[in-house]
Amino acid sequence: MSSTLDSLPPALAKIVQRFQRAADPKRRYEQLIWYAQKLNDFSEADKVPENKVPGCVSQVYVTAVLDDGKVVFQGDSDSQLTKGLVGLLVEGLNGLTPTEIVQLTPDFIQATGLNVSLTPSRANGFYNIFKTMQKKALECKLDLPN
- The per-residue pLDDT for range 3-21, each reduced to its tens digit, is 467 789 999 999 999 999 9
Which pLDDT score is estimated for 2? 43
Domains of the chain: residue spans and CATH: 2-142 (3.90.1010.10)
Centroid of chain to Cα 34: 14
Q: Tell me which residues are annotated as active site.
A: 56
- The per-residue pLDDT for range 92-142, each reduced to its tens digit, is 999 999 999 999 999 898 888 888 888 888 888 899 999 999 999 999 888
